[in-house]
Amino acid sequence: MKHKINIWGYIAIFAIAAIALPWIGSESISFSDVFGNLQDRENISVLIFFMQRIPRVAVGLIVGGALAMAGASLQILFRNPLAEPWTLGVAGGASLGAFLASMLPAFTIAFLPLNTTQLFALIGAALVIALVYSFSRKQGGIATHVLLLCGITLSILFGGIIMLITYFVSPYEFLSIHRWMIGGVDVIGYRELLSLIILSVPGLWLLMSCSRNYNHMALGEDMAMGHGVDVQRTQLITFVGAGITTAAAVAITGPIGFIGMIIPHVVRRLSGADHRLVLPASFLLGGATLAVCDGVARTILAPTELPVGIITAVLGAPIFLFILLKKK
């Protein structure tokens, strides 16, 4: 297959999504409705556009990009095409932390723009990172097969704990928790966006710093070491970077599946396997994809809004099966 899409193609897709999607929603608004009445602070169109649509689209772009870049990195770390952010168990730990925060409404803490849910999600993710790393650490690096097994086991364990707790809550609380667990980008204002940027940028930077090494690690650890790659350091940076990035996303939107698994495969098919391109392209395409899915979620049954996790699951599974069949 001839690879035709370069980084500028992905930038264009990302930019089109960022510009067009704020104008899409159950409430129809026009350019003149918004920019013709900017001085009117009570204008409904201005409030919808700047306080709902803009931050919601921005959060979708960053969360989708973060999950896709984390997935691309983990697929190289494990050399497993099915690896995604849930593989580490970090998403499960962050979900459990956020879930426990929602069960303690009287317990409220805040640090800068972070609220209780986000702080608990980060604590849960940090505990998982420390636990999984301690189990999988070996002399000379990380035992990736142990890392994989520990991550999957902890994800199952945390899911079981969440289901156990929901068994004892009221029906109203159960519905609220269930909706969060599906995953959604229903944010209002810029607090969540600011906290997402603060949390995700360090993780994304760590992953991008390893992009050149990933090209060597794709050939195997021994080959990478022969090419002068510090495999142990690259493994640790990938583990921590993907963990931070995933925790940042889950803390804001809840767990959203398939973006981290599918988008890197699509990018590699369209643009090749050079991870200096795959990582930023995965971020751009993943962000645009999640933002578009959220646009569909908030309009397909308007005025009712679907959680975006439903859309990504319904669309993601057939697409992934199609990729598998094409490879075969």
Give the confidence band of 305 by pLDDT, cuts at 50, 70, 90: confident
How deeply is 218 buried, as exposed, middle or buried, from its count of CB atoms within 10 A (0-12, 13-18, 19+)?
middle
Pick from 9, 98, 80, 68: nearest CA to 293: 68
Distance CA(261)–CA(84), nearest Å, equals: 5
Give the confidence band of 144 by pLDDT, cuts at 50, 70, 90: confident
Secondary structure of residue 12 in the 3-state scheme: helix
Pick from 193, 312, 306: nearest CA to 257: 312
pLDDT tens sequence across 152-200:
888 889 888 888 887 777 777 777 777 777 888 888 888 889 888 988 9
For the chain, give every domain's residue range. Answer: 7-327
| DSSP one-letter code for 25 | S
Mean pLDDT of the chain, nearest integer: 84
- Please report, as a single letter, which amino acid is at residue 248: A
Distance CA(127)–CA(301), nearest Å, equals: 39
Q: State the sign of the Cα–Cα–Cα–Cα dihedral 58, 59, 60, 62.
A: positive
Give the confidence band of 141 by pLDDT, cuts at 50, 70, 90: low
Using the structure block, give the residue that is written with the tokens 């609380």.
173
The pTM for the full model equals: 0.90
Task: Give me the numbers of helices (H) and strands (E) for the chain, helices first please.
Answer: 15, 2
Q: Give me the torsion for CA of 26, 30, 34, 35, rounded to 10°.
A: 160
Rg (CA), the chain: 20
Pick from 255, 300, 296: nearest CA to 85: 255
Which of 47-56, 99-108, 145-154 is least confident? Answer: 99-108
Pick from 189, 91, 60, 87: nearest CA to 146: 87
Contacts of 133 by beta carbon, 8 Å cutoff, 6+ apart: 142, 147, 236, 239
301 phi and psi angles, rounded to 5 deg: -125, 30
In the chain the first and final C-alpha atoms are separated, in Å, by 14
**Whole-number pLDDT of residue 289:** 95
For 120, other C-beta atoms within 10 Å of its C-beta total 24
> Residue by residue, what is the 3-state secondary structure of 257-299?
CCHHHHHHHHHHHHHCCCHHHHHHHHHHHHHHHHHHHHHHHCC
**Whole-number pLDDT of residue 105:** 63
| Mean pLDDT computed over 218-238 | 85
pLDDT tens sequence across 53-89:
999 999 999 999 999 999 999 888 888 777 788 777 8
Check: CATH 3.60.9.10 for 7-327? no
pLDDT tens sequence across 262-302:
999 999 989 988 999 999 999 999 999 999 999 998 888 87
**Whole-number pLDDT of residue 328:** 57
Q: Per-residue pLDDT for 231 more than 60?
A: yes
Beta-strand (E) ranges in 59-121? none
